[in-house]
Structure 1
Amino acid sequence: MLRQYELVERVISYDPDADVAALNRAYVYTVQKHGSQKRASGDPYFSHPVEVAGLMTDLQLDQETIMTALLHDTVEDTLATIEDIEENFGPDVARLVDGVTKLSKIEAMPDNERAAENLRKFLLAMSEDIRVLLVKLGDRLHNMRTLHFIKSPEKRLRIARETMDIYAPLAERVGMYEYMREMQLLAFEQIEPEAYRTITGRLEQIRQQDGGQVDAIALAIKQALAEAGLKVEVSGREKHPYSIWKKMAERHVSFEQVTDIFAFRVITESDSDCYRALGVLHSTWQFIPGRFKDYISTPKSNGYRSLHTSLIYENSMRVEVQIRTGDMHQTNEFGLAAHWAYKQGDTPDGQVGWLRDLIEIVDASHDAEELLEHTRLAIYQDRIFAFTPKGALHQLPKGSTPVDFAFAVHTDLGAQTVGAKINGRHMPLRTVLNNGDVVEIIKGKSPEPQLSWLAFVVTGKARASIRRAVRLKERDEVASIGRMLFDEIVTRVPAKIGKKATRDAVKRLDLEDEDELMYLIGSGRIDDRAVMEALVPGCTADLEVPIDWSRQERVISIRGLTPGVGFQLAECCHPVPGDRIVGLRLPGKRVEVHAIDCIELASGIDADWLDLSWGKQSIGAVGRLRVTLYDRPGTLAEMAGIFAQNLANVKTLLHVQKEHPFSGYEVDLEVQDLAHLTRILSALRASDAIAQAERI
């Protein structure tokens, strides 16, 4: 532990004008207030804030930050108050201590205690001074260094996961790579102890068997650059164990297959020397295509600047080389903290814009397990932050919509989304969210992500989840339709069809299994005659006439409505039984029933949304198709023939396009249900007379 005079001497070494008396008072104050309190290690508790203050002096931070580090736990863990801090050390230090204290308290709060308004106020106050975060990162780093003293494995694991998911990415976001790497290593040891032991053990073996190879490569690089007239410093090291583990996991390879274990850093005197050094290295050794990155001309959003390349050294050894100036190296290792050195006096103008957004992700992981499983933290330059009604905060890329938000909260919630309220008002799902919006997701009873959502979602998680669910849903739905059609086909076969006959039919058609047969039937890729012939060879001459359902009474019933409430099927989307539907309840009007992907729902209609479903006896709704025919004799008759063959009653036929060689029609068809409509579409698309057929 740093002694009082040692800490003061550190500050004086880079800030000769520092108020020594104030620093001494802060040191004595924290020792007195924490008194006989002990840490899990058995050390006096005040050793922790003193060590955190020491970390801040390593970054050469200003006097107020050092005092904040010394005092950061006094309000939370002793009888001291913010008023006491302000009275003794001034309003600026009190404000910083209050910010760190609030952050610690919010970490410990259960979800239901997080009030959205209070959380917003905290985040806004926090973002006004990045020094609060710098002290918190130092606090977390020292806690990780002593984490092994905590006896509870569950608590160690929770803290390690929180560090890996929140604080290490935060350190990276402000460019503090030294902090990030050490946090990741210490957290990795707790989260994956076996992998940690294996990788560090293998690195130790390499080190023992190395025979000075790292030093030899570093010397060769330095000599090659010196011969070109460049004055440089070169250092080499093994890759960070967690970095190796990430590569193994991402690439699905073993330790032996990770080829670039060694990394070298070249420090030059100027920007132009960086590019000269790069040219020398690329002309001396073969570089690996696709592995060169220029972060000097295009710095990372956290200010990181360097050239990265990978070379093939002797014996096909791959090595990574980073080339940068001394100033770049200082900024790269300590990032934004380097700009808070006393001589700087203020944050660079370019950094101010994203500070407010940056701090808000601190609260994103109110449940570390859920974050790790579903919303692994990713930090981008341009982000917005939205709240749940209970105050939980979620970080999203700019341009995100309520659907992105729902998937960020939980995959299941995203899949069940049918509507959303933004700041208490019903809004379309394609609405772009603004910073600070409170988003309430309205969910249905079953998970059914919509393909149309891909047109407006922006997060990778939402897009991947929708694509996966839609693929499975479409195949299942088509196969389900195919099974119903198969049952109808079977009624026309002059024999009793059992499992054996179906298995034999699958073999005759050279298909993989029964599910593939049902999918082909539902998608219209195999016709009824071929299926019947496969079931009972030679039977296709004796076909029975199917039941004409259109002669049955038209009945539509909707579940989810209050008894006695009237409804009408929306003319804009023409929902039919089998569609996922919602209701819009407008004052003084009947409930409008819309298909979930109706474009009118994106117009911002201010109405109550109802989660509805079709009654079992629903039959005979009107679906609308847009059919584009080739403009030649007989094509219209062929389209009408397809409707007749499929027993669909044409309600209206509107000619909407004539542009050689095409002719377009909008057709309203009275159909049995979605399966019936899908079969008609399949038949239309299979016809040579028809260029395109789609549902409107």
Structure 2
Amino acid sequence: MTDSVEIAKQILSLKGKSSEEDIKLLAKAYNMARYAHENFYRDSGDPFIVHPVEVCKILAQMNVDVQTLAAALLHDAVEDSEGKVRIEDVEKEFGNQIARIVDGVTKVSKLNAPVGTSDSKLKLETIQKMLFAMAEDIRVIFVKLADRLHNMRTIEFVKDEQKKIYKAKETLEIYAPIAHKMGIYSIKWELEDLSFKVLNRSEYNRIKALVAEKKKEREQRIKEYVEILQKALFENEIEAQVEGRFKHYYGIWQKLKEKGKNFNEIYDLFGIRAIVNDIPTCYNVLGIVHSIWKPLPGRIKDYIAAPKSNGYRSLHTTVITSYGEPLEIQIRDREMHAEAEYGLIAHWIYKDGINVKAMQKWVNQLLEWRKELTKDLSGLEEFKKELQMDEVFVFTPKGEVKHLPVGATPIDFAYSIHTDIGHKFSGAKVNGKLVPINYQLRNGDLVEILVGKIARPSLDWLKYAKSPRTKAKIRKYFREQLQTELIDRGIDVLRRISKQLSKSIEEIMESNVIQKYLQSQGISEDEFYSRVAEGTITYGELINLLNPLVDKSITKSEEKKQKPSSPSSVIEVAGLKNIEIHMAKCCGPVPGDEIIGVIGKRGLTIHSINCPNVKHVEADRIFEARWNGDPQSKYETTLRVTIRDKADIGKLVQLLENKGITVLKVLFASSKRTYSIVLLSLVVSNLKQLDEAKKSLESVENIISVERGRPS
């Protein structure tokens, strides 16, 4: 027991304040954790109990509440004790609050984020569960971030190289961005550097060596700047803590990569920070800084008046020093500094217990992200972009601040106000002047959106939108516009199958197999019909799903007959998902052809890029498209055959069938005295197979010509 009390005192000494009750609680939590992990060891050879203690110390240095510290000691007790400790035991001994945090961390730990996989459904499910666990109690993520930080600090002991790489990727792609979005920069920076070291050791060592080369020179330079500012503040009777700060290795590497510069061309590798007692003094210090060094125009950022969306507050200014180099200076008060280092955790430093308002804001944000993943955002990649984006702040005409991604345009601003405002966007004024839709908003811009009664979204807007949320809302609009038609088309597919099964559509939809499928996917019958129509559920998948109801002879006959693949499954249109896609009958494009998409009432129609029917189509109806199918995919196209004797048509069909090319139908387009024009509808794999079919037909006697497509 004495050992546990000493451990509790060590932890609480890092926090800076404690009571007898706090010591007793942590000692009790340590004893349960030690029991849970007895005879368990880490890859480093240390007893497992070392890990929860170190996690607890990380959080104690951030001054979190004692319940979070107790949960940190117990965070692996349920998962890694082989059943010795259950969540019910934690709740019985420590109450609901601590048990809830432990349970949340346990759930998140079991979710291996699907980094590097193409299974988008698994990605979405995993992140949704992760966000849900965090939303139960925001302190779950505090513990999980500290847990991941200690694991990354000791990752060199992991022997499995693949596991090491996976953990580093997961950290860089998921946990570091979440720390960034929550404003916990002290953890974010270290997670990035530790991941960088694993994933790109050679570049990490290169940056480290470059920094070390001029470290003494830079330390001397920054010491000089600090002394100059300290002296000026002292003369103005301002109490302040002035310190130097250096960019972390991953940040330097990113800047080198993004700017395309070499190391010697980057000047903002270090800066200084002044921490004062209150907000008025921040602005006073800004004036003093500008009296010492000349400020760079456009580089003064007031995040006190307009905080970042994660709550970050500070004054930033970049000045030119007497050495002719730019120097960034940050000015903030002590509470702002704590928030900048620890984000939401800082509320434990200045408040007794939980700040309910701040907590609720983040819970709502997490729930919003989860909702967006379910309905709007198309996958993990967009979620990661949403987390990682740098921001600009702009103002509404009423002075409300809106935070948008760097590079955001008026269309992003319109949708950030309200979805209906976005849908009716017809133009924008920035600082009183009309601007084009592709204008990139800048910090401090005053933006007014013009709306039109008959205005409606254009797919062209996706080219100008920067925010994943904006793009998601535009895509959702088009999906909903086409929903009625998709449902009808899906019902038609089911109707054809129902005839083969000698069952009604109602019987099929009420069957156990369909009802279980709807429940497992969390979708309605209408959504099921839509997915069938757009090809998200393919014909083959539908047959497999209905297998218990299907006569085997039907399945076999369908398997033998080659059918064209669903366009939605083999074509990608500028990232647009879940929208009805048709193949143009006029040109019958196949892989190997360059293609474009044209928006119309029926959805998107795919044409060959040189199809004469798209020459005069308006630019805002045209969308970039590309093939995205597998080698087994089949495509319907048309050959126009001019033949002297139409009695030879049977020979042509037989010739193509012998080469493994399915002829779906034959249509006589016209018949003259000396020749006939016949349209052959074929199913092929690619342009090469189509060319082979064309050459085979051209070699037949009585054939005058063979061309692609229908008559124009």
Q: How does 1:172-571 map to 2 (within 5 A)?
A: 172-210=180-218, 212-341=220-349, 343-358=351-366, 376-379=384-387, 397=469, 400-401=472-473, 403=475, 423-424=523-524, 426=526, 444=567, 448=571, 473=596, 480-481=610-611
Task: Check the 8 A contact 1:237/1:263 in 2, yes or no.
Answer: yes
- Which residue in the other structure is 1:25 paired with? 28
SS in 2 for 1:266: strand
Distance change in 2, residues 1:363/1:82 (3 Å)? farther
Distance in 2, matches of 1:405 and 1:106, equals 32
Taking a change above 3 Å as real, the CA distance of residues 213 and 406 of structure 1, as seen in their structure-2 partners, is farther
1:36 aligned to 2:108? Answer: no
Alignment match, 2:150:
142
C-alpha distance 35-422 of structure 1, shift in aligned 2 (>3 A) = closer
Shift of 1:33: 1.7
The separation in 1 between residues aligned to 2:210 and 2:125, in whole angstroms, is 51
SS of residue matched to 2:41: coil
Deviation at 1:29, TM superposition (A): 1.4
Alignment check: 8 A CA contact 2:34 2:49 kept: yes
1:239 is displaced (CA, Å) by: 1.6
**Identical pairs, percent:** 33
User: How many aligned positions are there?
Assistant: 472
Structure of larger gyration radius: 1
In the TM superposition, residue 117 of structure 1 has moved relative to its aligned partner by: 8.9
Larger RCO, structure (CA 8 Å, separation 6 or more): 1
For residue 182 of structure 1, report the CA deviation from its aligned partner.
0.9
Aligned to 2:455: none
Cα displacement (A) at 1:133: 1.0
Alignment partner, residue 506 of structure 2: none
Alignment CA distance shift 1:406-1:205 (3 Å): farther
Q: What is the CA-CA distance between 1:171 and the residue it aligns to?
A: 1.1
- Residue 533 of structure 1 corresponds to none
| 1:491 aligned residue | none
| 8 A Cα contact 1:68 1:96, kept in partner | yes
TM-score normalised over the length of structure 1: 0.57
CA contact (8 A) 1:166 1:377 kept: no
* Displacement after TM superposition at 1:327 (Å): 1.3
Per-residue Cα deviation, 1:36-88 (whole angstroms, up to 9, x for no partner): 21111111100000111112211222222111111111111112111121222
Contact 1:127 1:359 in 2 (8 A): yes
Change (3 A) 1:399 1:204: closer
Q: Which amino acid aligns with 1:424?
A: S
Alignment pair present for 1:52 and 2:152:
no
Structure-2 change in CA distance of 1:363 and 1:338 (3 Å)? same
In structure 2, give the amino acid aligned to 1:444. P
> In the aligned structure 1, how far is the partner of 2:236 from the partner of 2:113?
57
Deviations 1:112-145 (A, max 9, x none): 9979999867754541311111111111111111
Query: Matches of 1:38 and 1:363 in 2, distance apart?
Result: 40
Match of 2:112 among 93, 107, 129: 107
Could you tell me how far 1:102 is from its partner in structure 2?
Answer: 0.9
* Structure 1 residues 155 and 57: CA distance shift in structure 2, 3 A: same
Bigger shift: residues 98-107 or 350-359: 350-359
**Which of 84, 92, 108 lines up with 1:87 in the alignment?**
92
- Between the aligned partners of 1:236 and 1:246, the Cα distance in structure 2 is 21
How many angstroms apart in 1 are the aligned matches of 2:264 and 2:476? 39
The one-letter amino acid of 2:90's match is: I
Q: Which letter maps to 1:101? A: T
- Determine the C-alpha separation between the residues in 2 that align with 1:113 and 1:373: 12
Matched position secondary structure for 2:43: coil
Q: Output the amino acid matched with 2:523.
A: N
Q: Match for residue 151 of structure 1?
A: 159
Distance change (3 Å), C-alpha of 1:303 and 1:375: closer
Q: Which whole-Å CA distance do the structure 2 matches of 1:135 and 1:310 have between them?
A: 36
Give 2:72's aligned residue.
69
Q: Which moved more, 1:342-351 or 1:471-480?
A: 471-480
What secondary structure does 2:304 align onto? coil
Asked if the contact 2:131–2:366 (Cα under 8 Å) also holds between the matched residues in 1, the reply is: no
Q: Indicate the SS of the match to 2:355.
A: coil
In structure 1, the residue corresponding to 2:21 is in which secondary structure? coil
Query: Structure 1 stretch 95-104 or stretch 396-405: which is displaced more?
Result: 396-405
1:314 CA displacement: 2.2
**Structure 1 341/227 Cα, relative in aligned 2: closer, same or farther at 3 Å?**
closer
Whole-Å Cα distance in 2 between the matches of residues 216 and 429 of structure 1?
70
2:166 matches 1:161: no
How far apart, in 2, do the equivalents of 1:352 and 1:440 lie?
Answer: 37
Shift of 1:293: 1.5
Secondary structure, aligned partner of 1:39 = coil
Q: Which amino acid aligns with 1:97?
A: V
Give the letter for the 1:480 counterpart: N
- How far apart are 1:231 and its partner, in Å? 2.9
CA contact (8 A) 1:291 1:309 kept: yes
Secondary structure (helix, strand or coil) at the match of 1:309 reads strand
Question: 1:598-619, CA deviations, whole angstroms, 9 ceiling, x for partnerless residues?
Answer: xxxxxxxxxxxxxxxxxx99xx
Aligned partner letter, 1:193: R
Aligned-pair CA distance for 1:477: 6.2
Alignment of 1:117-132 (within 5 A): 123-124=131-132, 126-132=134-140
Q: Residues 19 and 477 (structure 1 numbering): CA distance in 2 closer, same or farther, change over 3 Å?
A: closer
Residue ranges of structure 2 left out of the alignment (5+ in a row): 390-402, 405-414, 417-466, 480-488, 492-520, 539-565, 580-592, 599-605, 618-639, 647-663, 666-678, 680-692, 695-706
Distance 1:362 1:401, change over 3 A: closer
- Amino acid aligned to 2:142: L
The SS at the match of 1:264 is: strand
1:196 deviates by 1.0
Shift in alpha-carbon separation, 1:86–1:212, aligned structure 2, 3 A:
same
Aligned to 1:620: none
**C-alpha distance 192-372 of structure 1, shift in aligned 2 (>3 A):** farther
Give the match for residue 96 of structure 1. Answer: 101
Measured in 2, the distance between the counterparts of 1:316 and 1:220 equals 16
Asked whether the equivalents of residues 11 and 18 of structure 1 are also in contact (C-alpha less than 8 Å), the reply is no
Q: Report if aligned partners of 1:160, 1:187 keep a CA contact under 8 Å in 2.
A: yes
Give the whole-Å Cα distance in 1 for the aligned partners of 2:608 and 2:571: 15
* CA 1:113–1:262: 2 relative to 1, 3 Å: closer
Do the aligned partners of 1:100 and 1:135 also contact (CA within 8 Å) in 2? yes
Q: How much does 1:269 deviate?
A: 2.2
Partners of 2:470 and 2:574 lie apart in 1 by 22
Question: Is the partner of 1:107 in helix, strand or coil?
Answer: coil
- Looking at structure 2, the residues matched to 399 and 99 of structure 1 have their Cα atoms a distance apart, in angstroms, of 32
